[in-house]
Amino acid sequence: MRIALISSRSFGQIVRVGEDLLARGGFDVRRVPDSERPLDAPKLARLVARERPNALIAGAEPIPREVLTASPTLKLVQKHGVGVDNIDLAAATSAGILVTNAPGTNTEAVADLALAFMLSLLRQVVPAVESTRRGKWDRYMGRELGQLTVGVVGTGRIGRAVIRRLGGFGSRILAYDVIQDPSLAATHSVKYVEMSELLDESDIVTLHIPLMEGTRELLGRRELARMKRSAFLINIARGELVDESALAEHLAAGGIAGAGVDVFATEPPQSSPLLKLSNVLATPHIGAYTQEAMEAMDRACAETVVDIFSGRRSDHVVNPEVLGRWTP
């Protein structure tokens, strides 16, 4: 029987559909025990060497070469999510290991959270709730989303879903992406601009781009300084897209009004300077955490693993150059 090792913290924790599909597909499903967490690369490499899995279903933990080469039985790494920046793709490709992901499964959930951050920050929902619980009756002045300009950085699946939602509010929408979508611009009255113009003009900047070498610390001190003092930054993509120290300094000095942050450079972010600031809404990487998204993601991951080991084609392979020399 083939073995599927689950290192993702969330796979199978909300719904059982994924584990059930793997079991019916002939896999012995084994979970990394809670006693082994938090996972780092050496710990996961030891687990892979011990369990000798054929497939690894991974979350956000690092998957470098030492994990990928820890057992000759490992043939597939399935990301429980979309971004594969935590997986050494070059090492996987060199070792003949397929890497797959689950695109589109969490799009609506993440877009919903982006709007939740915007509205919470604009209407000061969290301080108003805390004030009321303390027995006060403070009236917090807010702003209306439909009267503001929102800059959407990245117009892939999630960026487009955010834009669709903003259309219902009537917000002016600016967008930045290296690959522009003319149909999106025409249908939703989106204006593509350079990054500098987006930062200068937006009341809210929301990030929806993958982490890669060209986007690491896309927003540093210089870029943050371009934003309005009344503006808000939303980052529910990857923590490394923003220089956290620079953002914390900027927020503390009133350089921008606030930020909504669901992702951090190091997770859990126990030492992040952002956690000490009252104008930061910080959440524990919950963008994909809805019942619907988890079910869709678990199902997609399990179906991809079963399909590939059954010799069927999958559209979710990230390094297709391995296919010509891949064997189960």
- Give tens-digit pLDDT for 132-173: 999 999 999 999 999 999 999 999 999 999 999 999 999 999
Mean pLDDT score across all residues of the chain: 95
Q: What counts of helices (H) and strands (E) characterise the chain?
A: 12, 12
Domain with CATH 3.40.50.720 in the chain: 2-105+290-325, 107-282
Cβ of 298: how many Cβ atoms within 10 Å?
28
Q: Quick check: 268 pLDDT over 90?
A: no
CA distance 130 to 141: 15
Query: With b meaning 16 or more CB within 10 Å and e meaning fewer, what string describes 45-75?
Result: bebbeebebbbbbbbbbbbbebbbbbbeebb
CA distance 120 to 269: 22
Are residues 326 and 75 in contact, defined by beta-carbon separation less than 8 angstroms? yes
The catalytic residues are 238, 267, 285
Mention the CATH class of domain 107-282: alpha beta
Average confidence (pLDDT) over 73-95? 96
pTM of full prediction above 0.95: no
**Kind and range of the H or E run holding 115:** helix 107-122
- Cα–Cα distances (Å) from 111 to 12, 26, 132, 169, 186, in that order, read 23, 35, 29, 14, 21
Query: What is the reported pLDDT for 20?
Result: 96
Q: Quick check: 194 pLDDT over 90?
A: yes
pLDDT band at 284 (very low <50, low <70, confident <90, very high): very high
pLDDT band at 270 (very low <50, low <70, confident <90, very high): confident
Identify the architecture of domain 2-105+290-325 in CATH. Answer: 3-Layer(aba) Sandwich (3.40)
The CA-based diameter of the chain, rounded to the nearest angstrom, is 67
